[in-house]
A = this chain, B = another copy of it.
Amino acid sequence: MIKKTTVDLGNRSYEILIGENILDDAGSHIRGLLNRARTLIVTDENVAQHQLFRLEASLAAEKISFETIILPAGERTKSIGHLETLLEAMLKTNLERDDMIIALGGGVIGDLVGFAASIYLRGIGFIQVPTTLLAQVDSSVGGKTGVNSPQGKNLIGSFHQPRLVIIDITTLETLDPRHIVSGYAEIVKYGLINDPKFFEWLEKNGSNLISGSKETRLNLRSEAILKSCEAKSAIVAKDEKETGARALLNLGHTFGHALEAENGYDEGLLHGEAVAMGIILAFQLSERMAICPPGDLHRVQNHFEQTSVPLLSSFSFTLERLLQHMTKDKKMADGKLTFVIASGIGKSYLSRDVDMKDVKAVLELGLKG
């Protein structure tokens, strides 16, 4: 059974399809969107090993001809250098204005391919086929694309919505458990932003979603992914370019980005792990500001502890360096940082009125453990 939801953006609206083994039918979902039966698949070495043959077979079954580019796996691929490689390949494939390309992989591939699509011939279409939990519940939806630069993550990029998102939950079966936990943090985030009932559901079902028996985890994951995509779609439909409400999706990210940056964006700290740590810090900050009740903070902390999120004190970060990263965040405007603050579970809001003393205090406590 395929679950569906729509990102409602007028003539740029698109569907998100969620199901078991729909990767094997991807061709039939894609065919109707193509102007001619020709495309380019972009993926990485890891995904190529586990999933590429499935997508290729489904395209072949629909008589869609394709070429495939396999890029190195990992965050370093999200660079201007690899963007150039990809654009070069697109030019050589003679892709035309009405053609589309397919991103098969995690957030790195999705962000890079989306960005390349947005600037190739001033913009062509692309299709997201996310294969990690993080990409399925967050980065593949909403049209944020981009690459990293030495100065920070996603500083170069664009808003460019995909034409279709195909989410096959069976692709998660080959993932390392840490990557499941990492994606799970972004799922929890939706509950914490504005859906306390969803957070309650996760308190009850989270551990089975992460590591229950196969049938149980597949069912719970498909339900949580749909819920997450619906939550993100609703926010994106209201504020595509992040002039307001969309910034709520950055809950935990101002802290999280600083942690990732200080760790050099390597596999030692995954994005979702950093976000989970950042969400805890954001709730600690909110509690310290006497905005969030201590009980809600504890529920958040307990829930993440159960999913074995790393402790800030287990890294040898320094306060000074973390603060430096935070003040370089692109969410900075007019010299001030914007934080997502919570007055409780499911009650988040944006604030530009946070005292940096409180930010420091919360970080200091976390670093000491």
Q: Does A73 contact B (CB under 8 A)?
A: no
**Which residues from B are CB-within-8-Å of A91?**
149, 151, 155
Q: Does A347 contact B (CB under 8 A)?
A: no
Tell me the complex Cα distance, A133–B159, Å. 32
Q: Are B36 and A122 in contact (CB under 8 A)?
A: no
Tell me the complex Cα distance, A154–B84, Å. 14
Tell me the complex Cα distance, A156–B332, Å. 29
**Residue in B122, B146, B333 whose beta carbon sits within 8 Å of that of A157 in the complex:** B122
**Residue in B119, B123, B158, B330 whose beta carbon sits within 8 Å of that of A97 in the complex:** B330
Q: Does A320 contact B (CB under 8 A)?
A: no
Given known contacts A97-B333, A119-B146, what 16 new A-B pairs fall within 8 Å (CB)?
Answer: A35-B333, A87-B149, A91-B149, A96-B330, A96-B332, A96-B333, A97-B330, A98-B334, A119-B119, A120-B155, A120-B156, A121-B330, A122-B158, A123-B158, A123-B159, A158-B158
Q: How far is the CB of A125 from chain B (nearest CB, A)?
A: 13
Tell me the complex Cα distance, A156–B146, Å. 15
**Residue in B98, B157, B330, B332 whose beta carbon sits within 8 Å of that of A119 in the complex:** B157
Number of residues in A with C-beta < 8 Å to the partner? 33
Q: Does A118 contact B (CB under 8 A)?
A: yes
- Of residues 51 to 87 in A, which have CB atoms within 8 Å of B's CB atoms? 80, 84, 87
**Which residues from B are CB-within-8-Å of A119?**
115, 119, 146, 156-158
Q: How far is the CB of A88 from chain B (nearest CB, A)?
A: 8
In the complex, the chain B residue whose C-beta lies closest to that of A118 is: B158
